[in-house]
Amino acid sequence: MDELKINLTDTKGYVEPRDMEAFQHQTTRIISKLEEKSGDPDEFLGWLDLPQQTSREELIEMARTAESFTKDLDTVLIIGIGGSYLGAKAVIEALSPYFGSDKSRPEIVFAGQNIDEDYHHELREWLNDREYGIVVISKSGTTTEPGIAFRIFKEHLEEKKGQQEASRRIIAVTDREKGALRKLTNERGYKSYVIPDDVGGRYSVLTPVGLVPIAMAGYDLHKLLEGAEAMRQRTSSEVEYHNNPAAQYAVMRNALYQKGKAIEILGIYQARLYFFMEWWKQLFGESEGKDHKGIFPSIAQFTTDLHSMGQYIQEGRRILFETILSVEEPRHHLSVPPANDDTDNLNYLSGKRMQEVNAMAEKGTRLAHTDGDVPNMTISIPRIDEYNLGQLIYFFEKACAISGYMLDVEPFNQPGVEAYKTNMFGLLGKPGYEKERQRLMEKLRENGE
């Protein structure tokens, strides 16, 4: 059975059974509260039902659109940031080959996830010789980073192909009515998809925000949603705590937080999950870091980071706990070859699969870190495929919502994100931000900048 598993053994001794009981009752109440949503879009709870409410027809339509859209293209440029970027990037990276690209699929590249001039310049140069189309994703339709990138690449595509053909090569994923992107989409007649009102950015990977780019990359949307649906059922209010992995994860991280473990490291041993960790980091960081509270989400790619962060994790401040995202079976087989001279003394490993070495590194590290007062949880999946990624996505989303409410913060807003924007707009002289500009310029002068 393709099931996600959670193992809490290496957290023993940190939380008293009686504390756990109180937490368990709390999660039951929270899950029921989540499910009894009022239907008010401002609650941002639409993600809860996406796996069962997204119809087969919608998925088929997206897959067909992707097929015809990419028929004459070798590249699809996805423009978006934050929740309008990370979910698609996470799934596509996890499923794609490490090197080169599968020739039957278009290459997927990203823009607007930063404001790095060199990145965008070099990307534009590279796209000169590519047959590309654009998927631009923004719920608000007004975010600066993807807004700038879309200007640049829309202009580039129009210069290359003419406005009419360029408009055929652009798909927008945005709000039904609001925002500059919706306006332009309607004016230019771009094909478009709607982001539901009741789903916030970081919970939107199972809406067209994630599904359209994943379909462009040629991956199976049905399996992704099937995995998510299996997890929806496993984490519903009808399931008791001991069988609900999302509730267990949420409880344990909060219990550890109350014991002073303020930083969670999500660790992986398969590099293709790197952007999945980035997606997780946004999900928990933006959902929980509020009211001067919250577990700080950090990420580590092992064994690589054992040679950089391993020392701190083993012996630095004891404010850490780890969650390891473990994969039971890799895609390929590769064994350590024997060597006649054995000058490197590695013959004791000869014939062993690299996976076996990796698995022992994972076990050994977990035991070492636990001995070093870093409690560990393990979340494992049998393999990296669409179904298991779907499970993982829904698992973390549900756990994040439960955990946020346990922490007594509002997990679906992000008021703190506005602060940098206000300052950036003030410094750039955006109309309407004159007061901020004056205040910031004075501050910079005081600092001698």
Q: How far is the CB of 87 from ligand PA5 (least distance, A)?
A: 9
Using an 8 Å Cβ cutoff, are 358 and 342 in contact? no
Smaller CB separation from ligand PA5, 285 or 310:
285
CA R_g for the chain: 23
Inter-residue contact 397 to 47 (CB < 8 Å) = yes
Q: What is the closest distance, in whole angstroms, from the C-beta atom of residue 421 to ligand PA5 in the complex?
A: 9
Which residue among 71, 307, 332, 435 is the active-site one? 307
Return d(Cα 260, Cα 317) in angstroms, integer. 11
SS3 85: coil
Q: Does 307 participate in catalysis according to the annotation?
A: yes
CB of 324 to ligand PA5, least distance (A): 25
Give the closest residue to 182 by CA, choosing from 121, 229, 140: 140
The answer to whether 396 and 389 have CB atoms below 8 angstroms apart is: no
State which residue, 147 or 218, has the beta carbon closest to ligand PA5.
147
> Could you tell me which of 416, 421, 423 has the C-alpha nearest to residue 290?
416
Q: Distance between CA 268 and CA 279 in Å, rounded?
A: 13
User: Is 187 part of the annotated catalytic residue set?
Assistant: no
Nearer to ligand PA5, 245 or 404 (CB): 404
For ligand PA5, the closer of residues 285 and 330 by Cβ is 285
List the one residue out of 219, 234, 313, 298 whose CA is nearest residue 265.
Answer: 298
Q: ∠144-147-153 over CA atoms, to 5°? A: 140
Q: Is 107 a catalytic residue?
A: no
**DSSP tag of 197:** T
Nearer to ligand PA5, 24 or 140 (CB): 140
- Cβ contact 237:23 at 8 Å: no
CB nearer to ligand PA5: give 244 or 414.
414
Residue 175 to residues 47, 183, 283, 323, 359: CA-CA distances in angstroms?
A: 16, 10, 21, 35, 45
CB nearer ligand PA5, residue 99 or residue 420: 420
User: Exactly one of 145, 264, 278, 286 is catalytic; which is it?
Assistant: 286
Of 124, 138, 26, give the one whose Cα is nearest residue 402.
26
Cα separation, 365 vs 290, whole angstroms: 32
CB of 77 to ligand PA5, least distance (A): 16
List, in sequence order, every residue forming a beta bridge with 78; answer none if it has no partner: 110, 135
Residues in the chain: 449
Given the rule CB under 6 A, which residues bind ligand PA5?
Answer: 81-84, 138-140, 143, 146, 200-202, 286, 414
Q: Alpha-carbon distance 155 to 219, whole Å?
A: 29
Q: Cβ of residue 179: shortest distance to ligand PA5, in angstroms?
A: 8
From 352, 421, 434, 442, the catalytic residue: 421
- Give me the least distance between CB of 235 and ligand PA5, in Å please: 21
In 3-state terms, what secondary structure has residue 108? strand
Strand partners, 308: none
Provide, rounded to whole angstroms, the least separation between the CB of residue 145 and ligand PA5: 8
Catalytic residue numbers?
286, 307, 421
